[in-house]
């Protein structure tokens, strides 16, 4: 028996629709967190083996360790008994297991029999995981035919729809919402988890989905399925996955706490909360009127002319030296644009910190002007093309 570590998709050992044995790899699952405590907690787990059906391939991701696309598979877990209530009907028996009474679902037959008297494929809650290690063997487990595998997928869809319908019906049957104490953190006014996560991502950009580390399930895979005495039931696999989820949640709490205790984070929060708004005397009449319109006087030559001859209308006396050097080094200044509606009157000194908001506002207004210039230019080009091609002008 050979072993393949960090296999790629080209090293997939069996065809889809084949039974294999898997076991969670907790340490590999939390490795991306790069947290010593999470690694220690994951190593303390004692995962068991499970009989599963290889259903399909999962999302592909490149791994530098393997030098290619890491093998990612989606499994349907199998058990000796039907699922517990209320979804005891969400399973497919494998011959020679008798038909199910809850759904009148007849058993399907694999290429050869499993070493189990009874076996049910659970159609709800498939498990998708990266394969960290493969234990190869010369003999493979039973495989479903393409037609039988298609039937399994059809049952997954119908059972999933039935489970959703039953859940909605159960919610609709609840007419009375129990009263909650005002001090109860789980009350109706509590923020939903999505809102809390959005706040975290706002304050800590590193926690954004594209950048933050997260747990990714990894499994070890055995091709040989002749020894099934020690395989566990699907419910135990769900419990093991929940333990890994709890390890990740504990790590997330530590991560946020570390960010909050970071002096740079504290300084950023203090600066963000201490900036004064733009004073009213900085905003002139007509700030919001027609700033987005593109006019003939917005042409660059007119702006240069206004900057040279009307500089005193835009610059305070105490900034004259600075504005002169700016004019000599660049023919364009943001203060000469009509998009800039800040009246820098003589003797007027904005409050400390307001310059940040003034600059951001000027940039946003200038972006609106440039955006409309590009739109009108595009319309002009399109009209010219239509005239050249003999089409009706816009």
User: Would the pLDDT of 343 be above 50?
Assistant: no
Q: How confident is the model at residue 329 (pLDDT cuts 50, 70, 90)?
A: very low
- H-type alpha helices, the chain: 26-29, 36-43, 146-172, 193-203, 234-261, 263-273, 300-309, 320-329, 354-388
Q: How confident is the model at residue 11 (pLDDT cuts 50, 70, 90)?
A: very high
* Same domain for 150 and 22: yes
* Same domain for 254 and 285: no
Distances 126 to 15, 55, 91 between C-alpha atoms, Å: 17, 9, 12
- In this predicted model, which residue has the larger pLDDT, 199 or 273? 273
* Same domain for 123 and 259: yes
Which region among 18-27, 169-178, 191-200, 241-250 has the lowest average model confidence (pLDDT)? Answer: 191-200
User: Would the pLDDT of 150 be above 70?
Assistant: yes
* Res 294: pLDDT: 54
SS3 content of the chain, % helix, strand, coil (to 5): 45, 15, 45
| 182 belongs to a structural domain | no
Q: What angle do CA 208, 211, 214 make, to 5 degrees?
A: 90
* Same domain for 206 and 64: yes
Express each pLDDT in 45-72 by its tens digit.
999 999 999 999 988 887 776 678 999 9
* Same domain for 308 and 196: no
* Same domain for 144 and 255: yes
* Same domain for 76 and 203: yes
Averaged over 19-35, what is the pLDDT?
96
The whole domain housing 289 covers 280-388
| 361 belongs to a structural domain | yes
- In this predicted model, which residue has the larger pLDDT, 274 or 135? 135
* Same domain for 103 and 47: yes
- In this predicted model, which residue has the larger pLDDT, 55 or 332? 55
- In this predicted model, which residue has the larger pLDDT, 25 or 208? 25
| 185 belongs to a structural domain | no
| 135 belongs to a structural domain | yes
* Res 109: pLDDT: 94
Q: How confident is the model at residue 193 (pLDDT cuts 50, 70, 90)?
A: low
* Res 306: pLDDT: 62
Q: How confident is the model at residue 351 (pLDDT cuts 50, 70, 90)?
A: very low
Per the listing, tokens 């700016």 go with 326
* Res 261: pLDDT: 82
| Beta carbons within 8 Å of 133's beta carbon, 6+ residues apart | 3, 4, 5, 6, 7, 25, 220, 221
Total domain count, the chain: 2
| 149 belongs to a structural domain | yes
| 203 belongs to a structural domain | yes
* Same domain for 225 and 86: yes
Express each pLDDT in 158-182 by its tens digit.
999 999 999 898 888 775 555 545 4
**Mean per-residue pLDDT of the chain:** 75
Classify residue 51 by burial, with Cβ atoms within 10 Å: 0-12, 13-18, 19+: buried
Q: How confident is the model at residue 101 (pLDDT cuts 50, 70, 90)?
A: confident
Q: How confident is the model at residue 305 (pLDDT cuts 50, 70, 90)?
A: low
Task: Please say which residue of 229, 263, 297 terminates a domain.
Answer: 263
CB 46 within 8 A of CB 232: no
* Res 260: pLDDT: 82
Express each pLDDT in 360-382 by its tens digit.
555 555 555 555 555 555 666 66
DSSP three-state, residue 194? helix
| 183 belongs to a structural domain | no
* Same domain for 351 and 230: no
* Same domain for 258 and 335: no
Upper half-sphere CA count for residue 178 (Cβ side, 13 Å): 5
| 53 belongs to a structural domain | yes
Assess whether the previous peptide bond of 107 is cis (omega < 30° from 0): no
Written as six digits, the tokens of 192 are 């939903």
* Same domain for 219 and 305: no
Task: Please say which residue of 201, 231, 263 terminates a domain.
Answer: 263
């Amino acid at each position: 028996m050979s072993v393949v570590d960090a296999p790629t998709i080209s090293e997939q050992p069996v065809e889809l629709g084949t039974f294999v044995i898997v076991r969670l790899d907790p340490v590999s699952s939390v490795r991306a967190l790069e947290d010593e405590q999470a690694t220690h907690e994951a190593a303390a787990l004692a995962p068991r083996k499970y009989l599963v059906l290889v259903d399909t391939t999962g999302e592909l991701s490149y791994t530098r360790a393997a030098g290619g696309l890491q093998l990612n598979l989606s499994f349907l877990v199998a058990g000796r008994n039907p699922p517990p209530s209320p979804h005891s009907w969400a399973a497919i028996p494998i011959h020679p297991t008798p038909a199910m009474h809850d759904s009148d679902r007849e058993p399907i037959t694999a290429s050869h029999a499993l070493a189990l008297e009874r076996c049910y494929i659970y159609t709800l809650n498939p498990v998708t995981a990266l394969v960290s290690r493969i234990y190869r063997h010369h003999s493979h487990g039973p495989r479903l035919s393409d037609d039988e595998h298609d039937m399994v997928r059809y049952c997954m869809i119908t059972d999933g729809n039935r489970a959703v319908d039953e859940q909605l019906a159960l919610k609709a049957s609840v007419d009375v919402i129990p009263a909650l104490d005002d001090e109860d953190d789980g009350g109706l006014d509590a923020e939903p988890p999505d809102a809390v996560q959005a706040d975290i991502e706002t304050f800590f950009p590193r926690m954004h989905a594209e950048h933050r580390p997260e747990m990714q399930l990894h499994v070890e895979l055995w091709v040989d399925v002749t020894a099934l005495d020690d395989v566990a039931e699907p419910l135990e696999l769900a419990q093991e996955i929940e333990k890994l989820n709890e390890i990740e949640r504990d790590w997330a709490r530590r991560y946020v706490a570390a960010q909050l205790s970071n002096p740079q984070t504290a300084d950023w929060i203090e600066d963000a909360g201490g900036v004064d708004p733009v004073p009213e005397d900085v905003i002139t009449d007509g700030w919001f009127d027609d700033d987005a319109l593109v006019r003939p006087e917005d042409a660059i030559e007119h702006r240069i002319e206004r900057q040279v001859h009307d500089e005193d209308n835009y610059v305070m006396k105490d900034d004259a030296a600075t504005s002169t050097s700016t004019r000599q080094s660049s023919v364009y200044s943001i203060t000469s644009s009509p998009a800039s509606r800040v009246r820098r009157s003589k003797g007027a000194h904005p409050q400390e910190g307001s310059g940040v908001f003034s600059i951001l506002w000027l940039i946003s207004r200038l972006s609106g002007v440039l955006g409309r210039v590009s739109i009108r230019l595009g319309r002009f080009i399109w009209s010219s093309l239509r005239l050249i091609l003999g089409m009706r002008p816009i």
